Amino acid sequence: MAILEVKDLTKKYGVGDGEVVAVNQISFSVEKGEFVAITGASGSGKSTLMNMIGGIDTPTSGEVLIDGKCISGMSEDELAIFRRRNLGMIYQFYNLIPTLTAEENIVLPWRLDGRKRNDEKVKEILSVLGLSERAEHLPGQMSGGQQQRVSIGRALINDPAFILADEPTGNLDSKTSGGIIDILKYTNERFGQTILLITHDEKIALSADRIITIGDGRIIRDEVMNR
């Protein structure tokens, strides 16, 4: 079964002459375990699409189904809980809480959910991310690449149905970017984690198994990479 189905999704901003159709009747689906890159020029509608898939922005029309459940019908509270349990979100600027350590940032979704801490899981995640020595550091004491790895840890902690990453390497140099993509690839291969990676960088997109190219709010290409 598809883990994600996007059906005729449309988002318009503004009215009259000022109207912008940021996402224009986009439909596609993603199977469990796929590693999909969504690419396209700046302003093509990638972030708007991601925010609707993540339930942060509401569509003008169309729908998003995650694991068969339509997210548009949910209340704000339902959506916040659903998102925390089913989606891992990664952003260009990490969005870490500056007063919490690396480890505290990673387990934040558990705290918000009132869930019990699982030491084994925390240890495994820190080790996969190469952060075992950095667990007690604050975001301000870490490099950009390390901070981004913490945000990946926070996204992975709940074993989400899928990971949504919007330009996760947009703020990093190419070597550090490669490390971040390697971690995403590893979680995809090792844990069968489904990944949706948004990037304007065509070279980064080539790490995915499938590339969906967006232009002017529409899908202009959807190709499976041969390896």
Ligand X SMILES: Nc1ncnc2c1ncn2[C@@H]1O[C@H](COP(=O)(O)OP(=O)(O)O)[C@@H](O)[C@H]1O
Q: Which residues bind Mg ion (CB under 5 A)?
A: 46-47
Contact 178, 19 (CB under 8 A): no
Spatial CA neighbour of 210 closest among 26, 43, 24, 31:
31
Main-chain dihedrals φ then ψ at residue 127, nearest 5 degrees: -70, -45
| CB closer to ligand X, 23 vs 181 | 23
Residue 194: strand pairing partners: 162
75 binds, among ligand X, Mg ion, none (CB under 5 to 8 A by kind): none
Is residue 22 a contact residue for ligand X (CB under 6 A)?
A: yes
Does 226 participate in binding ligand X (rule CB under 6 A)? no
Q: CB-based burial of residue 144 (10 Å sphere; 0-12 exposed, 13-18 middle, 19+ buried)?
A: middle
Closer residue to Mg ion in complex, CB, 41/112: 41
Window 34-73: residues binding ligand X (CB under 6 A): 40, 42-48
Which option in Mg ion, ligand X, none does residue 130 bind, with CB closer than 5 to 8 A by kind?
none
Q: How far is the CB of 48 from Mg ion (least distance, A)?
A: 8
Of 133, 214, 201, 122, residue with least CA distance to 168: 201
Smallest distance, ligand X to C-beta of residue 22, A? 3
**Binders of ligand X in range 151-210 (CB under 6 A):** none
Tell whether residue 17 is a contact of ligand X (CB under 6 A): no
| Rounded-to-integer distance, Cα 195 and Cα 14, Å | 31
SS3 34: coil
> Residue 43 or residue 192: which is nearer to ligand X going by CB?
43
Rg (CA), the chain: 17
| Residue closer to ligand X (CB basis): 48 or 105 | 48
Q: Which residues bind ligand X (CB under 6 A)?
A: 13-14, 20, 22, 40, 42-48
